[in-house]
Structure 1
Amino acid sequence: MMMISVVVILVFCSFHLASQESHSLTLSATFISGETQFPGFIVVMKINDIPVEYYDGNIEKIVSRRYWRSDNTIEQYDLKKYIVHDFYSYMTSFSDVMKRRSNHTQGVHVSQEFVACDLEDDRLSRLILLYAYDGEEQAKYDILHKERKSIVPEFLWNQSVLDAMQSLFSKLYQPLCVSILRSYLQQDKNILLRRVHPKVRVMKKAHPGSGRTEVTCLATGFYPPCINMTLLRDGQPIPDREVTAGTVLPNGDGTYQQRRSLRVSDEELKRQYTCTVTHLSPENKLTVNLEAGPDSATLWPIIIPVLFGIIIIIAVVVVCWRRRVAKQGAI
């Protein structure tokens, strides 16, 4: 499911970096054919990249993920269940076509559908569909602009099918997406509209075996997961080919982290390294310099003996206290 996760973040962030009044509703459906321990069919609905509901094919129910609410009632349950079955029907056909084209008669294969609608300044700004098979995108449709692209002829809709899909989306999915998005943003605005800016550090770590030092810029604790990071050397951006860029990762507390690193020689380390981080908008820009002092690898030989000595002192104090208490009890 990595492909869909990356797409979700890219689609979501492309709007938030452009406007703080942009919001996104996404549906990610995964259909698995073959023997697997995972549910054969699951759909996850997210608002601004926060999971709010999901459908589990094993129990055939829609379940709330709004842990911050005491009432877990699913609004418009029957209509959402109809949409889930519509997804399932289409993805079953999609999976059969792709397996036949790829000559896949055995094994586990994953089909995915991704739908996103976005409100920008409270107006629908994008409605797209993506289809993927075994991690590779197969088709993309832009409903608002009536654009379609597919590497699979069976999914390159002709004009009559496209007109039918346009009608279905304009009468059902488009108004439903907008109404659900607006409703959730109003009900759960304290969670869905929150802004948490990143904490940024630029650190160094020696690698004695290679004779080089790793310089890392770490931004963590931010939400939403939209961020631009640039490592600079003497005030100039370092070429991408020299930098190892990590993906945006969840922290587990609803915030995210990302890092960029490069390895330099002792001579290069004498130069000035800084990191600029932009979150949400160009105005929210942070610039952080490389931390002075020894790196973390150098500090551990100092920290470990100190900690060991503190533990010994505490143990001696506890033993002496217990002996004293025992003597007083004997008297």
Structure 2
Amino acid sequence: IEVETQFPKFSYITTLDDITVGYYNSETYFPEGNTTKEDDVIDSDYIKGINDYMYNSFVRRSALLRQHNQNDIFLTGLNVYQTLVVCELLELDKPGKMLTKDPAGGCTTDELCYFNNHFTYTATVNITQEVLKPHLEEFKQKYEKFYHKVCIDTLRNYLKKRQNEVNRKEKPRVRFIQKANSDSGGICLSCLATGFYPSHINLTLFRDGQPVADHEITGGDLLPNADGTYQMRKSMEISAADKHKYTCSVTHLSLDNKLDVTLGNELLQIQKGSDKVLMILI
């Protein structure tokens, strides 16, 4: 059953680490970032070679799963099929593993991993074991002789052109904030690190030199900023009479040393409804 939607019939996004480098919308491939006309042609031609195969693969999987329908996720008129393809380069430019994960209707059906000429296949929905496994050997051959090489070559191509973006380091701006909580009568302490890249960061709250227990802390999610950097905030609530010393400790690839921001006892004497902020910009 064909259903009209506002979405492209077939689309994908290409990323280098967490940087979007291109988008395909069923008809055109759009390189993103600082590219030349020559790069645009190379990228389009390079990736166009797998567009038809990927789309036809979706169509074949859809037909097979519908033909052997045993699950409600394949009964609706509108079905969404997705594929996540990941390949990696290790140190010394050595090809690492390549992983393909296929969901249908929001549920992962199967995964295929290729590394050091060895395949690992996992079917997470019973129907895929019966329907797709007979086609597995053919797919493995395409994987080994075509997919893996194309993915690694594409990765090297983008890495060569975008290495300055991938390897850049942005230092975090750290704020340790305290705010009176009018509902509880206590104080909310928040440590915010923002504007950093790459995304991995260690942000820890200490009380008198000892890590605060996880169950006392809220937040800690890694969130993206509009400029391509990241932020993380961790918070906890203390009583207004608390006399302990609290420290926010941050380690990141852009910092030569660990950064510690401390709220001493004198900063905890705040008036109801007021904020005090200790900010370090580096």
TM-score, normalised via structure 1 length: 0.68
Distance, in Å, in 2 between the alignment partners of 1:37 and 1:281 is 42
Instruction: Give the direction of change, closer, same or farther, for the CA distance of 1:235–1:140 in structure 2 (3 Å limit).
Output: farther
Kept in 2, the 8 Å contact 1:112–1:131? The answer is yes
Offset, 1:251: 1.1
Offset, 1:102: 2.0
- Deviation digits for residues 120-156 of structure 1, max 9, x if unmatched? 1111222111223455444322221422222212334
Instruction: Give the direction of change, closer, same or farther, for the CA distance of 1:273–1:55 in structure 2 (3 Å limit).
Output: same
1:114 aligns with 2:87: no
Offset, 1:246: 4.0
Aligned residues: 263
Write the letter of the residue equivalent to 2:88: D
1:298 aligns with 2:274: yes
Write the letter of the residue equivalent to 2:196: F
Matches within 5 A, 1:154-173: 154-156=127-129, 158=133, 161-173=135-147
Rg larger in structure: 1
User: Which residue of 130, 143, 158 corresponds with 2:114?
Assistant: 143
Kept in 2, the 8 Å contact 1:205–1:295? The answer is no
Secondary structure of the equivalent of 1:77? Answer: helix
1:132 aligns with 2:103: yes
**Gapped regions of structure 1 (runs ≥ 5):** 1-32, 301-331
**Gapped regions of structure 2 (runs ≥ 5):** 277-282
CA-based RMSD: 3.2
Offset, 1:81: 2.2
Distance, in Å, in 1 between the alignment partners of 2:17 and 2:257 is 19
Write the letter of the residue equivalent to 1:131: D
Distance, in Å, in 2 between the alignment partners of 1:47 and 1:75 is 16
Write the letter of the residue equivalent to 2:82: Q
Secondary structure of the equivalent of 1:188? Answer: helix
TM-score, normalised via structure 2 length: 0.78
Distance, in Å, in 2 between the alignment partners of 1:281 and 1:112 is 36
Percent of matched pairs sharing the same residue? 34
Matches within 5 A, 1:8-19: none
Offset, 1:114: 0.9
Of Structure 1 and Structure 2, the greater helix share is in 1
Instruction: Give the direction of change, closer, same or farther, for the CA distance of 1:247–1:107 in structure 2 (3 Å limit).
Output: farther
Residue in 1 aligned with 2:280? none
Offset, 1:255: 1.0
Residue in 2 aligned with 1:241? 215
Instruction: Give the direction of change, closer, same or farther, for the CA distance of 1:106–1:176 in structure 2 (3 Å limit).
Output: closer
Instruction: Give the direction of change, closer, same or farther, for the CA distance of 1:155–1:208 in structure 2 (3 Å limit).
Output: same
Kept in 2, the 8 Å contact 1:138–1:151? The answer is yes
Distance, in Å, in 1 between the alignment partners of 2:88 and 2:153 is 12
